[in-house]
Structure 1
Amino acid sequence: MNNPFVELTVKNKVGYITFFHPNRNSMPSDILSLLQKTIIDTGKNNDVNVIVLQSGGDRTFCAGASFNEVVTINNQDAGIQFFSGFAKVINAMRKCPKLIIGRVQGKAVGGGVGLAAATDYCLATKYASIRLSELSIGIGPFVIEPAVSRKMGKMAMSEMTIDAESFFSTDFAKDKGLYADVFDTTEALDDAVKVLAEKLASYNPEALSNMKKVLWEGTDHWDSLLLERAKISGKLVLSEFTKNTLKRFR
């Protein structure tokens, strides 16, 4: 696999949405836009009762924002538009009428943690450590904060944000509620995801949809909230500190 993609595969009423980028599954704006569209379209697909969100490759679920694209941002509108991509994906997941199971086979950084937190139920391997590195590069996890805090709590969110250069273990992620269960191998993870997804897909779709609404009660303001957060990141990404830091990672 060398070319980025987002694709949907449907098996036994389960829609498997897979995203991939050769640079550690980082997320440039075109992949974010395609992922948002795929989630929305799959939510309307009558052949799908449950969604699994997963990425290609082995040991990295998602490295977050594409540094190669971020470093080219040269005005605030472009910055807002880029970070709005993550906001739109999270909101698409939130508003999707179908339950979304996360399959996290490897490390999640920044926006990747936000994607895992925006799933309704998340399973992972023992290799799926997490990090919020944004403060260390001069911005902050503003867009994903509501999703991460909702799932893991404000104190865990604060701890990861402030200790921005450390990876937090899968035990930490499970203990704080990001992962429902952790498996020793990808094969065991895939078996568990398949069993759970197909079991849920056999349930009453109307009940699943109504349960989804209940699980996300109190988040109706996120459309505007996440856009406001994107504006903060869109401004900070223009700072000399961030530009110089990102150039070292390219």
Structure 2
Amino acid sequence: MSNRELIIPANVALIPDGNRRWAKTNKMNLFNGYNYGIKKFVKFSLWLKSFGSKSLTVWALSTENIQKRTSQELSILYKLYVRAAYDKEILKMLDDTQARLKIIGNRKLIPKAVNKALSSVEKRTAKYDKFYINVLLAYGGHDDILYAAKKLLASGAAPRSISEDSLKKNLRTAKISDPDLIIRTSGEERLSGLLPWQSSYSELYFSNKYWPDFGKADLSAAISEFSRRKRRYGK
């Protein structure tokens, strides 16, 4: 399919799965495995922007991950997040592409040092508007809906007055555009609770490749497949 025939998804969501299995297959430790995953995400963001997409939402860490992963693994991830927040190459990419980065999730579950580092990137990119990167951290789809419901009740809203619109406006993910395309790597064919409110009409693309092995040609294949889909939106 030629570039002229491609229908570019404006908003893409990503579940970059398979870092641990990739590390094991390549006889690497978890630190290097996840580090490769972060480097691939930087490349992926640039590829996606070059295709013409407007936003990217990536699920970096779920509430379930925080509950079930070992403290050692979480420590590795937190260390890498802090390092990424001060990485000159990553910051240059955000500056050069005028990309705004936003962290979304239950940040009370994240160590203060990690929050501080990530907040510095949010502040640095706050005025950028050429591309949007939403990082879901300490995020769960059910938790997001529960958060919105509790927020409405705490505001004094009467149960009968709660509507779909009011619930949506109170989600942590309220400002995220509904994804046109959701990509998940590593062969797992499920969403695991990603953006349940926003993904009703999203097209799904599952790749058998582990995240660090996912290349530009794979993204092109995903967009080509998206272009062949007929989106009816319930019609």
**Larger relative contact order, structure 1 or 2 (CA cutoff 8 Å, min sep 6):** 2
The normalised TM-score by structure 2 is 0.35
Flag the structure with larger Rg: 2
The normalised TM-score by structure 1 is 0.33
